[in-house]
Amino acid sequence: MITLQQVTLKDVRNYPKVRIYIDAANQQMAAIGYTEHGHRHAGVVSSVTRTICESLGYTPRQTELAAIAAYLHDIGNMVNRNNHPEIGAIIAMNILDEMGMDPREIAVVVAAIGNHEEGDGIPIDYASAAVIIADKSDVHYSRVQNPRPETYDIHDRVNHAVQRSNLYVEPDKRIIRLDLEIDTSFASVMEYFEIFLSRMVMCRKAAEQLECRFCLRVNGVDLG
């Protein structure tokens, strides 16, 4: 008989397979010219996800499950960028089962991982919604892995241009606000929307799942 464990984010972060697989995922992203998708991104998204859930009154265990999903959300990139949410959900399911997590909790985590990407992903519950918003809000110059600015593509330019990115939750007003400071000498606000519009729409839908309104502020100007 398998003894179920109350697996924590700390357990997941320190699990050897998780460390290796996320390192491998980021190596593949660097090889194909993508921004950072390693432990830094996993940690930021997990921390922001926790803040969202705590601010909106979810229980400590609900919050922990969402934070675990956030940390593992891009692990599927070690196989291929295409279909990485679905691949990552299967990898996470196997790891968490190996660690002894309750299958009912695994179901929450893998659904959030499998639904975090625009196009096919849908904010089906609180965990998936929080992970979506936290993931899409991590745009920042520190994510650029390309050491040659003269070869930057639009994703590198836009991330390089974002000098500050903060997500604020106002539970009383039911508002989730992404506040960006963009250096327009590197990329214009229009270029930001060229690659992030679909992500912002997904954030709006995710906020609605959390019974909130998603707002975006760029360089001190409210854009909705």
Checking DSSP bridges between strand 175-182 and strand 221-222, what pairing results, if any?
unpaired
User: What is the Cα–Cα distance from 104 to 117, expressed in whole angstroms?
Assistant: 23
Tell me: pLDDT of 1 over 90.
no
Mean pLDDT, residues 173-194:
89
pLDDT digits (tens, 9 = 90+) for 71-103: 999 999 999 999 999 999 999 999 999 999 999
Q: How many CB atoms lie within 10 A of CB 137?
A: 25
Domain extent listing, the chain: 9-222
The pLDDT assigned to 150 comes to 66
Task: Evaluate whether 106 touches 112 at the Cβ level (below 8 Å).
Answer: no
146 vs 182, more confident: 182
More confident residue, 161 or 25: 25
Q: Please provide the average confidence, as pLDDT, over all residues in the chain.
A: 92
pLDDT(104) > 90 = yes
Across 191-206, average pLDDT? 89
Rg (CA), the chain: 17
pLDDT of 189 higher than 70: yes
- Arithmetic mean of pLDDT, 107-122: 94
Region of poorest pLDDT, from 23-37, 86-100, 105-119: 23-37
Rounded to two decimals, the pTM is 0.93
Average pLDDT over residues 178-197: 86
Question: Domain spanning 9-222: which superfamily?
Answer: Hypothetical protein af1432 (1.10.3210.10)
Average pLDDT over residues 180-193: 85
194 contacts: CB under 8 Å, gap ≥ 6: 154
